Amino acid sequence: MTIEQIKKIFTDTAYVRTGGSKEELACAEYLKKCCADLGLEAHLESFSVDMAKIHTAVLEADGEQIPCKGYLNAGSREVEGEFFYLNSTDKYSLSLCKDKIVMIDGYLGAWIYKDLLEAGAVGFITYDGNANYADFDMDQRELRSYVSQGKKIPGVNINAKSAIALVEKGVSRVKITLRQDEYVGQSHNVVMDMPGEIPETIVFTAHYDSTSLSQGAYDNMSGCMGLLGIAEYFKDHPHRYGMRFVFCGSEERGLLGSKAYVAAHEGELSKIVLNINIDMIGSIMGKFIVCCTSEAELVHYVSYLALEKGFAASPYQDVYSSDSTPFADKGIPAVSFARSAPGNTATIHNSYYTMAVMKPEHVIADTDFIIAFTDRMANAVKCPVKREMPDNMKDKLDRYLLRKR
C-alpha cells in the first residue's frame, strides 16, 4: 500500500461505526470493495447482536439534572435511592450498596456488576472522560448480555467532571429514569479467501468497528489496512498455506464478530494452524508489541525475527484483548501485532483518536514486518507453532472470558 492509499482509506472511513449500526455496514461494504480493488473477492457474513434505542435517560442528583447517557440494553425503569460512591470493592464497602444507586470507577465489568446485584444495588453510575480536558464527552455504553445474564438494573454514564462534583458536593439522593426499545440487529464480518497449496489455513483478523465517540482510525482501521497490505503482497507471492482474511464487526462490543465467526465455522477450525491478528498499528508514537497467546517458543521466534530484520519489537506471552482471543480459546495459537502508543499521545475509545495520531509510513513499516513473519509461517513445510494451548494461557483465557474470577 502507498502513503496516498493509506491517507485515502483513513479519510474515507473517518466516521463513527458502532457495532450493528448502518455506518458499520457501510464500512463493511467499503472493505469489501477494497478487496475487489485488489482483484480479490470478499463476502459478508451476518450475525445477531443486541441493539437498543434510548428514548429517555435522565439522572437527577438532589433535584438537579446531571448530563448523562443511558446504558443500552439495561432495561426501562425509574429508580431512586441514596447515592453511594463505591471507591473500593472490599466486602465492607460492598455491604453498603443495598438499595442504593452506586457510582463506580472505570468500566462496568462482569464481576463488579455481579457484586452490585448480590449487594442489592438498585442502579449504577459510571463515568469516563478526563477532568482536565475542556470537553464534556461521554461514551455511549451498554450492559452486555454476558454481563447481565438477564438480570438488569438501570445505569447511566457521565463525564468525570460530573462524577467529581457529585462526590465533592456530598450528594444525598439520586434518581435514574431510563426508557428504551431493545431488539436484535445484525452486524457483519467481511471474509476473503486466498487458497494455498494445502488445505490448512492461516486466519488473519482485524476489527473495523469503532466506539461511539471515535472515527476509529488508530483502533482499528489501521489494522484493516494491515490486512489489506498482507493480501496485496501475497496475491502476487507464493504461500503454501491457505489464507483467510476476516475483518471483524462489533469487536468493541465484546469481540462479538470473532466469537460469531468461530461459532459459525466450528467444523473448519481444525484446519486453522495459526491466527494472526492486527489491532492498532501505525501510530506516530509508541512501541511495536507482539502478544503471543501460544507456546512461549513463539515469543523467542519473533524476537529473533525482529533482530534479523532490524525492526524494534517487544514480543511477550499473554492474552490480548482483541479478536485473537476467541481463536486462542479454541486451541488455535494466536499472535496479535500492535503499536502501543502512550496514553497522552494516542488515547483510544474517545473523540481524540483520529487520523491525526497516525503516520502512514509507520503503517507501511509495521505491515512489512508482519508480512515477513507471515511469509515464514505461510511457506513453512510445517507451521512451527504447536497447535495446543499451554496451561498458563488456558488459565488466562478462563479469566479473560469470565469462566474464572
In order along its 405 residues, the chain shows pLDDT tens digits of 899 999 999 999 999 999 999 999 999 999 999 999 999 999 999 999 999 999 999 999 999 999 999 999 999 999 999 999 999 999 999 999 999 999 999 999 999 999 999 999 999 999 999 999 999 999 999 999 999 999 999 999 999 999 999 999 999 999 999 999 999 999 999 999 999 999 999 999 999 999 999 999 999 999 999 999 999 999 999 999 999 999 999 999 999 999 999 999 999 999 999 999 999 999 999 999 999 999 999 999 999 999 999 999 999 999 999 999 999 999 999 999 999 999 889 888 888 878 999 999 999 999 999 999 999 999 999 999 999 999 999 999 999 999 999
pLDDT of residue 347: 83
Here the contacts of 62-66 (C-beta below 8 Å, separation 24 or greater) are 62/169, 62/171, 62/172, 62/173, 62/174, 66/158, 66/162, 66/166
Residue 262: the pLDDT is 98
pLDDT at position 317 is 98
The dihedrals phi and psi of 206, each to the nearest 5 degrees, come to -160, 140
The residue assigned the cell 452490585 is: 116
What DSSP assignment string belongs to 314-364?
EEEES--SSTHHHHHHTT--EEEEEEE--TTTS--SSTT-SGGGB-HHHHH
Tell me the Cα Rg of the chain: 22
User: CATH fold of 3-50+186-400, please?
Assistant: Aminopeptidase (3.40.630)
Any bridge partners for residue 225, and if so which? none
- The domain spans of the chain are 3-50+186-400, 63-171
pTM of the model: 0.96
Name the CATH topology of 63-171: Glucose Oxidase; domain 1 (3.50.30)
Do 189 and 257 form a contact (C-beta atoms < 8 A)? Answer: yes
- The pLDDT assigned to 353 comes to 78
